[in-house]
Chain A
Amino acid sequence: MAPKRIPRVGIGGPVGSGKTMLIEQIVPILSAKGYKAGIISNDVVSKEDAERMRRNLATDKGLMPEELVIGVATGGCPHTAVREDPSINLSVVEELESKYDFLDLILIESGGDNITTTFSPALADYFIYIIDVTGGDKYPRKRGLGIENCDLLVINKTDIAPYVGADLKIMERDAKIVRNSKPTVFVNSKTGLGVNAVVSFIIKDVLFDALPKSSK
């Protein structure tokens, strides 16, 4: 019998936008609520992000076994490994599903890419796209597949908006227009500000408000 499918969230965004740090903030909140997550971290060449998350979330904080943070070096264009040919990621997902059926969720981080990143529906059930304010407040209205099509747009590094002349109200207004009112959340992944709202969307829209498997 095939293992039961575990819900999956894809997280994409440009290099340095804060994908890894967002996951490092999401997992402890999920963990405190009893939800257990596995992580797949895609990178072009190295596995540095996966190693960092393994160290921070597993080794130091003990929130998950170390083997539940898996690095994938995609080579080439990172978006191809999560959209056009997600087979390498699907094989890792299937391995997690068969070995760790207690997981409530699998988080899949794309390698840093451009604004047209999206996830194959075969790989991810929900797509979070993260940008930051340093590109200026024009960023949302400049559109792009990632910004327009994601289920949840996360705008990071709100603390430095005043220093780069980015008006968060303009970003909020434009995001609402280009995304047909789909949700946008402002966060500071360094402090965790706003990340509870991201977790709430995941629990509602991906986990369908189900209780953690461990509580049943």
Chain B
Amino acid sequence: MIHINKVIGNINSDSDLGKKYQTMLKNDKVEKIQVSRLEADRTRIRKLSNKGTDLALTMEPGSHINDGDVVLLTEEKMIITKRDLENIVIVSLNSDISTQQTLETSIKLGHIIGNMHRPIKVTNNKVYFPIQSDSEIELFKKLFHNLSKNIDIKNENMIFEPDLGYDIHGH
């Protein structure tokens, strides 16, 4: 078991680490640990890498694990984190609606999604929130039916990071 207590850097935001990752990947020296959204905010996690390396992570309270974080780096081995993909609904506002319609649709969307106690991320006129199964998208299409002329709705598997303060409340 290897004890880890900090993230070295991230292959997506640190170009040197990104280059090192590509080189080590070609030489089959990269290992991955899979981390869920819940685990990403924990301070203690024990994980096996995809090649069987046993890691005990003890992180500072308040730290957060991102996709592509490097948790171990030696000449022979780089271990990075892979965040779990989630089934995410993406609702986008149509660009041809008026300011008044945009305001009203946004408030009603927030009301409906809030009533379903989902965490959300809002960016670029789109709101993202997780569902637990494909069947749930039908539920949301029904709930949004009065807004259907003003929105597009689809779902994708992706990494989900809710906006700070808009995390889950589920009854």
A residues with a Cβ closer than 8 A to B are 5, 7, 77, 79-80, 83-84, 114, 116, 118, 121-122, 125-127, 143, 145, 148-149, 204-206, 208-209
Would you give 26 A-B contacts (Cβ < 8 Å), ordered by A? A5-B43, A5-B61, A7-B44, A77-B171, A79-B170, A83-B169, A84-B168, A116-B170, A116-B171, A118-B38, A118-B168, A118-B170, A121-B40, A121-B41, A125-B42, A125-B43, A125-B45, A126-B44, A143-B133, A145-B132, A148-B132, A149-B36, A204-B46, A206-B46, A208-B46, A208-B56
**Given A118-B38, A121-B38, A149-B36, are A83 and B46 neighbors across the interface (CB < 8 Å)?**
no
Question: How far does the Cβ of A98 sit from chain B's closest Cβ, in whole Å?
Answer: 15
Closest-CB distance, A127 to chain B (whole angstroms)? 8
Q: Does residue B139 face the partner (Cβ distance < 8 Å to A)?
A: no
User: Which chain A positions have C-beta within 8 A of B61?
Assistant: 5, 122
Q: Are A208 and B43 in contact (CB under 8 A)?
A: no
CB distance from B145 to the nearest CB of A (A): 25
* Given A122-B61, A205-B46; 13 other pairs, CB 8 A cutoff: A7-B44, A116-B170, A118-B38, A121-B40, A121-B41, A125-B42, A125-B43, A126-B44, A204-B46, A208-B3, A208-B44, A208-B46, A208-B58
Give the docked Cα–Cα distance between A121 and B38 (Å).
7
Contact in complex: A122, B168 (CB < 8 Å): no
CA distance A50 to B116 in the complex (A): 33
With a cutoff of 8 Å between Cβ atoms, the chain B residues found around residue A5 in the complex are 43, 61
Number of residues from B at the complex interface, CB < 8 A: 21
Q: Within residues 40 to 74 of chain B, which ones have a CB less than 8 A from any CB in chain A?
A: 40-46, 56, 58, 61
Give the distance to chain B from A120, nearest Cβ to Cβ, in Å: 8
- B46–A122 CB distance below 8 A: no
Residues of B within 8 A of A83 (CB): 168-169
Give the Cβ gap from A178 to chain B, nearest Cβ, in Å. Answer: 9
**CB of B1 closer than 8 Å to a CB of A:** yes
**Contacting pair A121 B42 (CB below 8 A):** yes
Indicate if the CB atoms of A145 and B46 lie closer than 8 Å.
Answer: no
B41 and A208 within 8 A (CB):
no
Query: Which of B36, B45, B58 counts the most A-chain CB atoms under 10 A from its CB?
Result: B45
Q: What B residues does A77 contact at CB under 8 A?
A: 171
